[in-house]
Amino acid sequence: MSVFWEYTLVETAARYSVVVLCLIVFMAVFEIVTSYNNWEEIKKGNIAVAMATGGKIFGIANIFRFSIEHNDSLIQTMGWGLYGFVLLLFGYFIFEFLTPSFKIDKEIAADNRAVGFISLIISVGLSYVIGANII
């Protein structure tokens, strides 16, 4: 019985560590893609950026939740997590493309909370769609 608990604890710590590392890398990619500095804007109190960034963090974590739930190996979990992140990033570009009358990044940087909220909802919603398809 003690071997079971030790293995589960080690596996949980390994998956947690990998997901945190991937989250840091993926958020760095989002930082490059956006025209504003996420953490600088959040430090200044920009609620729209905080909502958009929070949606991205939740979306990535949710994709990994599905990936962990449906995969036995750490490599499979990372692969599906990476694939899900690429789809989430693609969704970000689609959102920008579907709003030609204004620039999403500029509106979020200007603390347009309506756009920040929609960005949050899109990230969260897409993460559920992406996650539901992970096998």
* DSSP 3-state percent helix, strand, coil across the chain (nearest 5): 85, 0, 15
Hey, where are the domains in the chain?
2-132
Cα–Cα separations (whole angstroms), residue 23 to 5, 9, 45, 56, 106:
26, 21, 22, 10, 24
- Residue-wise pLDDT tens digits, 35-81: 999 999 999 999 999 999 999 999 999 999 999 999 878 899 999 99
pLDDT of residue 11: 87
Report whether pLDDT(29) > 60: yes
- Residue-wise pLDDT tens digits, 74-117: 899 999 999 999 999 999 999 989 998 999 999 999 999 999 99
Task: Tell which residue, 28, 48, 49, has the closest CA to residue 38.
Answer: 49
Q: Which residues, in sequence order, are CB contacts of 102 under 8 Å at separation 6+?
A: 115
Pair 15, 68: CB distance under 8 Å: yes
Give the DSSP H/E element, type plus range, for residue 38.
helix 38-43
pLDDT of residue 2: 61
pLDDT of residue 19: 94
Q: How far apart are CA 84 and CA 127, in angstroms?
A: 8
Task: Tell which residue, 21, 8, 22, 14, has the closest CA to residue 80.
Answer: 22
- Angle (nearest 5°) at CA 84 between 83 and 88: 120
Q: How far apart are CA 30 and CA 56, in angstroms?
A: 9
